[in-house]
Amino acid sequence: MADRPKVLILGGTAEAVELANTAAADHDITYSLAGRTRTPALPADVTVRSGGFGGAVALTRWLTSHRIAAVVDATHPFANTIARNAVLACVERSLPHLKLMRPPWEPLSGDDWHFVPDIASAATALQHIGGRAFLSVGRQELGAFAGIEGVAFVIRSIDPPESANPLPEAVYLTGRGPFTFDRETDLLKANDIDVVVSKNAGGDTTYAKIAAARALSIPVVMVARPVPPPGATVGTVDAALDWLNSLETAT
């Protein structure tokens, strides 16, 4: 039996785990995580590494030393630093590269979305809206909301806040999706939420809060995704599997 091609999957999403689990039958998968989540969801029976690579040059060296044949970037749509580094490293090594990125959410009838280009703009928007804000943007982004007057925060993250907490007066909740519509509706009601702040992550795992806000006529400050680096992109795990299989056929 021929050696299975070595594939690096840059993970951290539900799609990345699904892809790694499915592709492992025909590929030698290394699944890489940034290491920011204490108890991440992991695929089974694949090599897992945790932590950054140290930039594009270091990633290029890693790809070379581990004889990687292809890279699939299935990181969060807002993980733009590793996305750029992956493209640069693959160009340097002349390796096939694919971005697996779920489609963004689109507003539906009844949604009251306030579109902003980045987290800093979301913080500015809250200064004009006020009230009680439900933040679901990740622990790394909380510093942008420090010092805002007239806003009380309810914050949900996978892990509890770290000791250097920029919003010590906030109410903190922990939880990992998928979340249900009923649960999110109850959460928004119980905490008297006036506005939801969310990154446009796309997918089903955390969409329930958006649907709940719509049902309760609560506005949503929606942070746009950063522009991804150029390159081949697909929106589903099945399409990513087809891409991997096409590489085998080509060789």
| Residue 157: per-residue pLDDT | 87
What pLDDT is recorded for position 161? 75
Do 165 and 97 fall into the same domain? no
Q: Tell whether pTM > 0.85.
A: yes
pLDDT at 2: 56
In a domain, 241, yes or no: yes
Assess whether 84 and 129 both reside in one domain: no
Same domain as 159, residue 211? yes
Residues 6+ apart with CB under 8 A from 149: 127
For residue 144, being part of any structural domain is answered with yes
Identify whether residues 67 and 163 lie together within a single domain. no
Spatial contact of 16 and 32, defined as CB atoms under 8 Å apart: no
What pLDDT tens digit does each residue of the chain (251 aa) get? Answer: 457 899 999 999 999 999 999 999 999 999 999 877 777 788 988 999 998 899 999 999 999 999 999 999 999 999 999 999 999 999 999 999 999 999 999 999 999 999 999 999 999 999 888 899 999 998 888 999 998 989 999 999 888 877 678 888 899 998 888 899 999 999 999 999 999 999 999 999 899 999 999 999 999 999 999 998 889 999 999 999 999 999 865 54
Q: How far is CA 5 from CA 13, 42, 111, 171, 244, in A?
A: 22, 21, 45, 47, 10
Q: Say whether both 161 and 91 belong to one domain.
A: no
Q: Is residue 107 part of a domain?
A: no
**CATH number of domain containing 245:** 3.40.50.720
Total domains in the chain come to 2
Based on the fold, state whether residues 118 and 183 are members of the same structural domain. Answer: yes
pLDDT of residue 1: 42
Domain assignment present for residue 30? The answer is yes
Q: Is residue 96 part of a domain?
A: yes
Range of the domain at 131: 113-223
Q: Letter for the amino acid at 234?
A: V
Number of other CB atoms surrounding residue 217 within 10 Å: 9
User: Which CATH number covers residue 211?
Assistant: 3.40.50.2300
Q: Are residues 205 and 235 in the same domain?
A: no
Q: Is 1 contained in some domain? A: no
